[in-house]
Amino acid sequence: MSNFGSLWMVLGLAVALTVRADEGMWLFDQPPSQVLRERYGFEPSEAWLRHLQRSCVRFNSGGSGSFVSEDGLLISNHHVGSDALYKLSSSGTNFLRDGFHARSREQEIPCLDLELNVLQEIEEVTARVNAAVPRDATAEAAHEARRKVIATIEKESLDRTGMRSDVVTLWKGGAYHLYRYKRYTDVRLVFAPEQQIAAFGGDPDNFEFPRFDLDISFFRAYENGRPAKTPDYLRFSPAGAQAGELVLVAGHPASTSRLLTVAELAEVRDQTLPLRLSWAKQMEVLLSNWSARSEENARRAADLLHGIQNGRKARNGRLAGLLDPNLFAEKRRAEAEFKACLQGKPQFSDALAAYDKIAESVRVGSREAKRTLFLETWMGSMSDSFAIARTLLRAAEERAKPSGERLHEFSDAGRESLELRLFSAQPMYPDLEVLLLSEVLTLMASEFGADDPLVLQALAGKSPQARAAEMVQGTRVAEVGFRKHLYEGGMESIRTAKDPLLELARALDPEARRLRKAAEEEAEVRQQAHAAIAAARNALLGTSGYPDATYSLRLSFGTVIGYEENGQTVPAFTTLEGLYARAAAMRRQPPFDLPPLWEKRKGSLDLMTHFNFVSTADIIGGNSGSPVVDRSGSFVGIIFDGNLASLPWDYMFSQTQGRAISVDASAIVHALDRVYEARELLRELSR
């Protein structure tokens, strides 16, 4: 990468007058109005922003979407909706592979545990959060005080408004905003294409361009058994995006690391990313081999395998960015220059000292980082049955405490969302659970050592495969009624259940909690240090920049334009003609084969229709499903990916080659009309 920008850009300290390129994941209450006005002659009004904000949807399964009719119809990516498609499928019905089309509202299928959030209000609560944390408190006391006040703010807001209420940490602790969301939990599947056209090219083409994917799905939000009334929705533009035009993206980028110090980035480069990559590659090989054994195995593992493959490729790209000597040299230079700005200024002494505090905290945290990451994150994300068992165990312990003293995910404000997930009737397959839990236990033994006391306790004198089979065959956590009984009965029910997975969770949890507590205290140290840096930054540059992404609603912008790669021009658009040419060039071998319906109806298509396009809009994971709109606010496309050069955007933005990839609205309309004959959907989209 090159042309990484000025000191302020590199540190994520950009303000309206100094930002170069189309950088920024901007807050809706602090939009880049001046940049847009001076560069593009466009300044969104408050009404324009409010309408877009309330048209946007966040998926609890990860990803974004938007309402596209006044009757609760919404669009997202196929891969964002894949969790719902997978959970609605069975051995006889594979919606993930074969797609789904409800031709009437009576045919729309309720999703099992999908929650949608729509941002309604934003309130500044920085002063209240900071006032609750004593200045000279220990990291432990400060963390407890901060957790308590945040839980209190969220619960007060929920009780007063009835809306989901989340305190969002911005600028790594420099500010706190309270976001209030309208929740939809009656969500029904309306339409999804076949996976082979939604993800044409599969893993080989993932994060590549040119692309030819119809990565979309439609759902409908319901209230009181009827389609929700959603007056804020985006009108479809049948013409789609136009070359060279300004486009804006509204979505929920999951997280970025642009504000991390050099010490923190080095830890990510040298420890966290390589470790996650290693584990992901092992799980990918395991699931690929298991899937190849039967069609039913492939169906059961499809959603998890796709997520692991996507994560592996994304982390490879991010690691490549951090290993780029130009990127890291620019980060070091920028940090050194900013420190030089602080030297000799007593009012910024805390900010200057903050860098050393962060470096020391990173050193302390790295001692047990692998163990923490495995026990607290990886183990629970791989095995659904173990994750449920641990949630039940922790819920019993945490609910006995005041809300402000609990682990954050068990606070009163998040109770309804937690229970929606915990009591989901999602399918669970014992053979897949044995496979996954066995591999997790094997990884645990290989990482910690076979003689580690925790490993010995987990294996209980058996091999990983035998131990996993014993626990999965003996557990009842797959039964929703059993979960509800334990949840309502508290710790006494957990103790008397004699469930092997619950017993494993009980055996591992003291160590996992100890590690989590230590990690949270080190995170508190870094958060306070980043807050000092943020205060210095704001004093020097003002507050009109943008913070790192936090899976909260953001606004990005850019231009529909191609790029140069290896001396060749990559055009901004692909076409339907290119889809068929790509399939033919690859001899229609999977994953470059086409669904039968697309082969059958090729003759009815206008092959010059734009299919996918790229833009310079600043995105990251979580933006999948984000609407792309033009100046009028019309829907012209939907984000579904970035190219390989965009993967280092987690740490630093560069639009030299990095691009966001979208499905063009014209392709969506054309496919619904000519391939799927979804006239009822087209009528609703055109209202």
As averages over each run of 10 residues, the pLDDT of the chain (687 residues) reads 36 38 95 95 97 98 97 98 97 96 98 98 97 94 97 98 98 95 98 98 97 98 98 98 98 97 98 96 97 97 96 96 95 95 95 97 96 93 95 97 95 96 96 97 96 97 98 97 97 95 97 97 96 92 85 98 96 98 98 98 98 98 98 98 97 96 98 98 96
pLDDT value of position 599: 98
**Both 206 and 245 in a single domain?**
yes
**Both 502 and 623 in a single domain?**
no
Q: Is the peptide bond before 591 cis (omega within 30 degrees of 0)?
A: yes
How does DSSP assign 593-651, residue by residue?
Answer: ---HHHHHTGGGS-TTSEEEEEE-----TT-TT-EEE-TT--EEEEEEEE-GGGGGGGT
Element holding 327 (H helix, E strand): helix 325-342
CA gap 155, 130 in Å, rounded: 18
Q: Could you give the 3-state DSSP secondary structure of residue 40?
A: helix
E strands within 416-466?
Answer: none
**Both 96 and 241 in a single domain?**
yes
Residue 31 lies in a domain: yes
**Both 574 and 515 in a single domain?**
no
β-bridge mates for residue 167, sequence order = 178
**Both 417 and 335 in a single domain?**
yes
Residue 369 lies in a domain: yes
**Both 25 and 90 in a single domain?**
yes
Residue 1 lies in a domain: no
Q: For the chain, first and last CA: distance in Å?
A: 45
CA gap 400, 405 in Å, rounded: 10
pLDDT value of position 319: 97
**Both 246 and 221 in a single domain?**
yes
Going by their DSSP bridges, the two strands 73-76 and 64-67 should be labelled as antiparallel
From 462, 495, 525, the end of a domain falls on 525
Element holding 365 (H helix, E strand): helix 349-366
Look up the pTM and report it.
0.95
Taking phi over 0 as left and psi of -120 to 50 as alpha, with beta for the rest, 625 belongs to: left
Contacts of 526 (CB under 8 A, 6+ apart): 172, 264, 357, 358, 361, 362
Q: What angle do CA 516, 372, 509 make, to 5 degrees?
A: 60
**Both 598 and 472 in a single domain?**
no
pLDDT value of position 540: 87
What are the backbone angles phi and psi of residue 671, rounded to the nearest 5°?
-65, -45
pLDDT value of position 541: 78
Which two three-digit tokens encode residue 602?
């090729």
Q: Which domain holds residue 435?
A: 262-525
Residue 140 lies in a domain: no
Residue 38 lies in a domain: yes
CA gap 296, 65 in Å, rounded: 30
Residue 149 lies in a domain: no
From 525, 555, 578, the end of a domain falls on 525
Taking phi over 0 as left and psi of -120 to 50 as alpha, with beta for the rest, 541 belongs to: alpha
H helices of 92-193, in order, are: 95-98, 126-131, 139-161
**Residue for token pair 């309306």:** 190
pLDDT value of position 6: 38
pLDDT value of position 514: 97
Residue 294 lies in a domain: yes
pLDDT value of position 443: 96
User: What CATH number does the domain containing 50 carry?
Assistant: 2.40.10.120
CA gap 271, 16 in Å, rounded: 35
pLDDT value of position 180: 98
pLDDT value of position 281: 96
Residue 162 lies in a domain: no
Contacts of 153 (CB under 8 A, 6+ apart): 125, 128, 129, 165, 167, 178
Greatest CA separation for the chain: 73
**Both 230 and 104 in a single domain?**
yes
**Both 565 and 651 in a single domain?**
yes
Contacts of 44 (CB under 8 A, 6+ apart): 31, 33, 36, 52, 248
**Both 210 and 67 in a single domain?**
yes
What is the number of domains present in the chain? 2
What are the backbone angles phi and psi of residue 619, rounded to the nearest 5°?
-135, 170
**Both 364 and 251 in a single domain?**
no
Contacts 24+ apart (CB under 8 A), 475-479: 475/385, 475/389, 475/499, 475/500, 475/501, 475/502, 477/385, 477/388, 477/389, 477/392, 477/501, 477/502, 478/385, 478/428, 478/430
Contacts of 384 (CB under 8 A, 6+ apart): 426, 428, 433
CA gap 436, 468 in Å, rounded: 9
pLDDT value of position 542: 74
From 458, 491, 525, the end of a domain falls on 525
What are the backbone angles phi and psi of residue 574, rounded to the nearest 5°?
-110, 170
Q: Write the CA distances from 397 to 145, 407, 510, integer angstroms.
A: 20, 10, 12
Going by their DSSP bridges, the two strands 246-251 and 164-170 should be labelled as unpaired
**Residue for token pair 């299928």:** 109
